[in-house]
C-alpha cells in the first residue's frame, strides 16, 4: 500500500505525503473492517472499533452504542454468505481525526433463505490513537438499489488543466522547459474521453507554415480520444486511446488518480527517466 501511496502523491509536499499515507491507512482499515464482517471474523471486526463507538443505523433509529461483541457473534455466526463491496471511498483528514465516506453494496445469502441486497451510504469518523486508526462513530443511510453512484461517475464532466509537474522518484521537482500550460479533459457518462493539451510559448504562423513551423506546432500540441475504465481497487483509470495525434501512441494509458475537492490529479507511471508526471485538473462543468 505504501508503494502505491508514494506513486499517488508524487507532486505533493513531504507533509502531504504523510497525510496521504494516513488517508490510505484509513481506507485500508475501512476495507478490512468490511472484509472481517463478510468473513464472520468478529474479533477482527471489533479491532477497528473504539470503545466509545456509536452509530446512527440505516433504519433512522436513535443514536445507539456499538453492538455488543456477543450479539455480533450471533449475527455474524449465522452461516450466511456475505459479500460487501465498497465504492467511491474518500477520506478527509483533520489532524488526528479522519472522516471516511463511501457507498456499500451488501449482499447476504442465508442458508435456505432469500438473498438480501442493501445499498448504504456510509460515513465514518476515525481517531488516531497510539498510531492506530479507530472508528468512533458511523452514520448509515439506506439507498435504493438503483441510486448508488459508480466510481466512474466522479470522473464525468469537463476539466481544465491547472498544474503540470514532473518529479523524480525521490519526490524532488524536475524542471521542464516545455511543459503543458493549457488543456481540456472531458469524461462522458457513456464511458468516452477526450483530452487536449498545449505547451507554453506556442508560435503562430500564416497559412500552412514552413516545415519547421508545422513541426513545432505538432510538438506543442497533444490530443487523443477514446474510452476509459476505472479500477477503484488500484486507484487507476485507463485511457483506451482510439486515436492520437501521434499514431504510435494509440495504446492504453494508465493514470493513478486522486480526487481533492473539485480537483483531479492524474499521475502517469514512472517513465524511462524514472520521472513521474502529474497533471492536476479542475472541474469546470
Percentage, residues of the chain above pLDDT 90: 36
What does pTM read for this prediction? 0.55
Residue 100 confidence (pLDDT): 95
Question: Is the pLDDT at 8 greater than 50, yes or no?
Answer: no
Q: Do 160 and 284 form a contact (C-beta atoms < 8 A)? A: yes
pLDDT digits (tens, 9 = 90+) for 12-45: 333 344 456 898 999 999 999 999 988 888 888 8
Percentage, residues of the chain above pLDDT 70: 88
Q: What is the mean pLDDT of residues 167-189?
A: 83
Question: Is the pLDDT at 11 greater than 70, yes or no?
Answer: no
Residue 213 confidence (pLDDT): 76
pLDDT digits (tens, 9 = 90+) for 256-269: 999 888 899 999 98
Query: Which whole-number Å values give the CA distances from 199 to 44, 60, 94, 236, in the listed order?
Result: 52, 53, 37, 25
Domain-wise residue ranges, the chain: 2-148, 152-283
Question: Is the pLDDT at 111 greater than 70, yes or no?
Answer: yes
CATH topology of domain 2-148: Nuclear Transport Factor 2; Chain: A, (3.10.450)
Opening angle at CA 50, ends 47 and 55, nearest 5:
110
Cell digits of residue 178:
516545455
Q: Do 194 and 228 form a contact (C-beta atoms < 8 A)? A: no
Question: Is the pLDDT at 1 greater than 80, yes or no?
Answer: no
Q: What is the mean pLDDT of residues 201-226?
A: 79
Question: Is the pLDDT at 231 greater than 80, yes or no?
Answer: yes
What does the alpha-carbon distance between residue 237 and residue 187 come to, in Å, rounded to a whole number?
11
27-36 long-range contacts (CB < 8 A, ≥24 apart) are 27/89, 27/91, 27/100, 28/1, 29/126, 29/133, 29/135, 30/86, 30/89, 30/100, 30/102, 30/124, 31/86, 31/89, 33/135, 34/84, 34/86, 34/104, 35/84
- How many Cα atoms within 13 Å fall on the side-chain side of residue 236? 15
Q: Which of 4-18, 160-174, 211-225 has the lowest mean pLDDT?
A: 4-18
pLDDT digits (tens, 9 = 90+) for 238-249: 999 999 988 888
Q: Which CATH superfamily is 152-283 part of?
A: NlpE, N-terminal domain (2.40.128.300)
Residue 188 confidence (pLDDT): 95
Question: Is the pLDDT at 168 greater than 60, yes or no?
Answer: yes
Amino acid at each position: 500500500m505504501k508503494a502505491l501511496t508514494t506513486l499517488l502523491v508524487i507532486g505533493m509536499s513531504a507533509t502531504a505525503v504523510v497525510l496521504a499515507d494516513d488517508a490510505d491507512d484509513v481506507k485500508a482499515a475501512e476495507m478490512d473492517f468490511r472484509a472481517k464482517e463478510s468473513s464472520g471474523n468478529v474479533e477482527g471486526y471489533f479491532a477497528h472499533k473504539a470503545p466509545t463507538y456509536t452509530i446512527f443505523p440505516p433504519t433512522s433509529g436513535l443514536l445507539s452504542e456499538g453492538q455488543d461483541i456477543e450479539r455480533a457473534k450471533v449475527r455474524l455466526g449465522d452461516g450466511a454468505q456475505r459479500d460487501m463491496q465498497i465504492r467511491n471511498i474518500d477520506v478527509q483528514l483533520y489532524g488526528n481525526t479522519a472522516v471516511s465516506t463511501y457507498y456499500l453494496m451488501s449482499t447476504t445469502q442465508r442458508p435456505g433463505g432469500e438473498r438480501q441486497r442493501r445499498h448504504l451510504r456510509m460515513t465514518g469518523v476515525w481517531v488516531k490513537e497510539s498510531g492506530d486508526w479507530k472508528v468512533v462513530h458511523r452514520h448509515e443511510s439506506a439507498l435504493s438499489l438503483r441510486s448508488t453512484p459508480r466510481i466512474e461517475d466522479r470522473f464525468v464532466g469537463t476539466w481544465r488543466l491547472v498544474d503540470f509537474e514532473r518529479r523524480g522518484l525521490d519526490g524532488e521537482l524536475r524542471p521542464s522547459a516545455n511543459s503543458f500550460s493549457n488543456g481540456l479533459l472531458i469524461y462522458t457518462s457513456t464511458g468516452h474521453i477526450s483530452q487536449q493539451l498545449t505547451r507554453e510559448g506556442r508560435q503562430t504562423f500564416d497559412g500552412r507554415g514552413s516545415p519547421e513551423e508545422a513541426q513545432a506546432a505538432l510538438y506543442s500540441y497533444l490530443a487523443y480520444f477514446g474510452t476509459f475504465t476505472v479500477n477503484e481497487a488500484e486507484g487507476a483509470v485507463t485511457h483506451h486511446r482510439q486515436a492520437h495525434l501521434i499514431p504510435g501512441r494509440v495504446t492504453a494509458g494508465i493514470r493513478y488518480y486522486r480526487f481533492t475537492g473539485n480537483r483531479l490529479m492524474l499521475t502517469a507511471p514512472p517513465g524511462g527517466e524514472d520521472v513521474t508526471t502529474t497533471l492536476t485538473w479542475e472541474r469546470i462543468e
